[in-house]
Every structure is written in C-alpha cells, then in structure tokens.
Amino acid sequence: MLTRRSVLAAAAVPVFGRAPSLPTPSPRQLRWHALETTAFLHFGINTFTGKEWGYGDENPNLFQPAHFDAGAILAPLADAGMRGVILTCKHHDGFCLWPTATTDHCIRASSWRGGKGDVVRDVADAARRRGLLFGVYLSPWDRNNPHYGTPRYIEIYRRQLTELLTGYGDIFEVWHDGANGGDGFYGGAREKRIIDKRTYYDWPGTWALVRRLQPGAVIFSDVGPDLRWVGNERGIAGDPCWATYDPVAPDGGPAAPGDVRAKESATGYRHGSHWMPAECDVSIRPGWFWHQDQNARVKTPAQLIDLYYQSVGRGANLLLNVPPNRDGLLSAEDMASLHGFGEYRRRTFAHPVPRGAEFNVIRVREDIRYGQRIDEAVVEVSNGRAWEQIANVTSIGPRRLVRLGRRMRAQKLRLRVLKSSAPPKIAEVAAFLET
C-alpha cells in the first residue's frame, strides 16, 4: 500500500520557540468532519406548487405525496456515500412537515394519510435504519405566521425547534439559512416585513437551546457557530479553504445570518480565531425543490465528482440536495446520477493503490484534533534516489485531494511541509487511481 504508514511522510519542520495555540475542533465538529458528504432533502408544499419560495398562503391539502417512502428515498443516497440527511422540516412558506402544536399550517391539515402523516418521523426513522445521521432545517423566515416580525414569533420558532430536537432522537446538525424577511402572507396581512438581521432572532439564545437539547448537534449558519456557509450555492469551496474563520458583515461590523462577507466565507482565514469549517450546499438540480421541467437538467455523475473534489477535496463537506418528487420518491434521473457518483467513489477510494502501481489522485490529511497546522506543502515521489515534486498544496486540514491529471507509478511517496504554524501532525498520505 502506498500510504503514509508503510512508505513515509517526512517533513522539514520549522523550529518553534513556544507551544502554539491553534483553534481545534470540538467533538461534535469532529463527528461532522468524518461524514464528508451528506444529503439535503428539500421537500414540502413547494414540491406541489412548483415554486422555490412559497408565499405562505398555500392550501395544506396540496401536500399529497401518494407513494412517499422514506426508506426508498434514503437507499440511493446511502449507496452514493451520504452519511447523514437533513430535511427541510419547514421552509420559508411555514408549512411544517410534522404535526406541530405551534400552527395549523402543517401536515395535519392535509388529508394525506388521513391527517396522521409525519414526514419528519418517517425520514428520521428510515435514516436510523440505514445508518445515516439525521438533521433538521427549520427556516427562520416564516411567510405564513401572523406573528412573524414580533417577539412572539421567536417563541414559536423556538417551540418548533424544541419539538424537533426532543421528539426525533439524535440530531447531528441544525441548519439555519440566511434568507430572512420580506413579502409574505403573514396570516392574511399580505405585506412586507423587514426584520433586523442582527437583533431580531437573538441567535445566541436559540443556539443555547440547541446546545441544551442536542449537545452533539453541529449548528450551521452563515456565521456558525459550528459550521459556516461556504458563501455560494454552487457547492464549491475556496482554494485555499481554511477551517478557521471569523465572520464579518459586509460593512465590517458584526455578521449575522444573511449579512456576511460571502467571498471570505469560501476561503476562511488562515489565522481565524474559531474552528468553523465550511459546508458546501448545492442542489443536484437547478432548483432546491423538485420541478418536472428540470428532470433533464439533473447534474451528471461527472459533475458531482467534480463538485466532490472542489468541496470535500478542499477540506469542506458537501451537502448535496436531492429533492423528492410529487410521488414522494426520488426521480429516476437523480437516482441514476447518484448511482454513478457512488460507483465512482467505491471504485476510486475503496483502497489506496499498492506500491509501484499506477495512481492519479493523492489524498493527504492532517490529524485535525491538533488543529490545522500546515500552511504549505509539496507532494513528492521517488523511484530511486531523487525525489520529484508532483503537486503543491496550501490548506489541508481534514483532507486535501489532488487530481494529478496523469497516471504515475512510484515506490515512495511523501509530503514535504514547507511552512507550518505548529509542528505538523499528518494523518495520511495515500494514492488512488480514478478511472
């Protein structure tokens, strides 16, 4: 095996005068890093109206996924290597996919399954059966709720979160998006409500609730506290992509969800003060929700593979949205792409290549329990005495994948660290063959 353990990995390490103190991941962040790829399910009233952002005045009875089967949705996702799934329990339209006590704008008001359906329950249970972790998306913006914009809505939002975080077992991730405020139904008012993104939600209070109810869950938003938005919805991390970061608003002041310098979210800061790695959310289709007329525009396996290298390969995680259709299942086009992506991952990454065999992909990892220590390094190979440089990298962190663009053979492979901010702790240097 051409891996670090058997072959090498040595490094020219700068000498340090004092012990470094770099940000390090929490146990909940470490669990998340190991997942690499997770699935997003955008499913709800929009699936039936054809919209991306529902106004909040939809008739709940439109929700009629006649063949809904959470197990059938999750099987192709798990086969494609997804290790967790996050469901849009409530999108901006305010329609709740579980029988919440907080509003009638929910699944109970649909005749589907006689008003007894609970999509959150079905997905959470099916995830556990498949060995996937389960996470929740709860839109802070609610275009249906009459109280949106007042303090009372914050109480309602927290009650909804409490229902989700206490009634559905272990939650690995809580997702708060940044789209906040604007036109809506708001109980019939049909008006525009603008909120102060920095103060209205009292995010620290909501995050404290999540910590209390689900201490193992990572919290995602534009500003963390555990995971940061990567700054685009194309699924592409910056290069470099540092796990450390300090969110800043466009005006240089304190950032808030929906009010952050997105460009810098992509790269993070080399010497940022928080461990706040990037999550790359992207849809397999042009839209987040399923639309019939987008069936021919599902990303191909090759496009998903490229995204994998541009996200996971740069040390971020990929959150891939695959929206269920009106039947309550994944469409054939999406399943075909997932299958191709999964086959590629198995074929390429199941085993590192043996010594002397051909390879064209390199994977290096730092032991991030000690922080992100390496600033810059080169990958070198040797078939005799001389070492030849085949790649250079900056940020590594949890992982860096390098596609070499040509096949090579080598007896030895090493990572030579050119610059680091503390003595490097290398977890892996391995070679793979993509075909």
Whole-number minimum distance, CB 178 to ligand FUL, in Å?
5
> 4 with 429: CB under 8 angstroms?
yes
Considering only 3-11, 116-124, 175-183, 355-363, which stretch makes contact with ligand FUL by CB under 6 A? 175-183
The answer, yes or no, to whether the previous bond of 240 is cis (omega within 30 of 0) is yes
Window 14-53: residues binding ligand FUL (CB under 6 A): 52
Listed in sequence order, the residues at least 6 apart from 187 whose beta carbon sits closer than 8 Å to its beta carbon are: 144, 145, 146, 147
Listed in sequence order, the residues at least 6 apart from 208 whose beta carbon sits closer than 8 Å to its beta carbon are: none
One DSSP character per residue, 93-160 reads: T--BSS--SS-SSBGGGS-GGGGT--HHHHHHHHHHHHT-EEEEEE-S--SS-TTTTSHHHHHHHHHH
CA–CA distance, 215 with 409 (Å, rounded to integer): 47
Count the site residues for ligand FUL by CB under 6 A: 6
148-152 long-range Cβ contacts below 8 angstroms, 24+ apart: 148/184, 148/186, 148/193, 149/181, 149/186, 149/193, 149/194, 149/195, 149/200
Could you tell me the CA-to-CA distances from 232 to 26, 180, 298 in Å, in that order? 25, 17, 19
Listed in sequence order, the residues at least 6 apart from 365 whose beta carbon sits closer than 8 Å to its beta carbon are: 396, 398, 399, 400, 426, 427, 428
Residue 179 engages ligand FUL in binding (rule: CB under 6 A)? yes
295: closest CA among 271, 263, 268, 331? 331
Nearer to ligand FUL, 136 or 402 (CB): 136
Whole-number minimum distance, CB 82 to ligand FUL, in Å?
16
Whole-number minimum distance, CB 253 to ligand FUL, in Å?
21
Whole-number minimum distance, CB 87 to ligand FUL, in Å?
12
Amino acid letter for position 127 = A
Whole-number minimum distance, CB 173 to ligand FUL, in Å?
13
227: closest CA among 1, 29, 19? 29
CA 359 to chain centre: 29
Nearer to ligand FUL, 201 or 359 (CB): 201
Whole-number minimum distance, CB 91 to ligand FUL, in Å?
6
Assign 3-class secondary structure to 154-202. HHHHHHHHHHHHHHCCCCCEEECCCCCCEEECHHHCCEEECCCCCCCCC
How many of the other CB atoms lie within 10 Å of CB of 425? 16
Considering only 23-31, 177-185, 352-360, 410-418, which stretch makes contact with ligand FUL by CB under 6 A? 177-185
Whole-number minimum distance, CB 92 to ligand FUL, in Å?
6
Nearer to ligand FUL, 115 or 178 (CB): 178
Whole-number minimum distance, CB 288 to ligand FUL, in Å?
4
Whole-number minimum distance, CB 379 to ligand FUL, in Å?
35
Residue 222 engages ligand FUL in binding (rule: CB under 6 A)? no
CA–CA distance, 110 with 118 (Å, rounded to integer): 11
- Chain residue at closest Cβ approach to ligand FUL: 177
Binding mask 373-402 for ligand FUL (x = CB under 6 A): ------------------------------
Whole-number minimum distance, CB 236 to ligand FUL, in Å?
15
Residue 281 engages ligand FUL in binding (rule: CB under 6 A)? yes
Nearer to ligand FUL, 58 or 281 (CB): 281
Nearer to ligand FUL, 52 or 327 (CB): 52
Nearer to ligand FUL, 198 or 416 (CB): 198
Considering only 118-126, 172-180, 347-355, 375-383, which stretch makes contact with ligand FUL by CB under 6 A? 172-180
Considering only 25-33, 174-182, 218-226, 354-362, which stretch makes contact with ligand FUL by CB under 6 A? 174-182
Whole-number minimum distance, CB 425 to ligand FUL, in Å?
34
Residue 288 engages ligand FUL in binding (rule: CB under 6 A)? yes
Nearer to ligand FUL, 177 or 264 (CB): 177
> 392 with 430: CB under 8 angstroms?
no
Q: Which residues bind ligand FUL (CB under 6 A)?
A: 52, 177-179, 281, 288
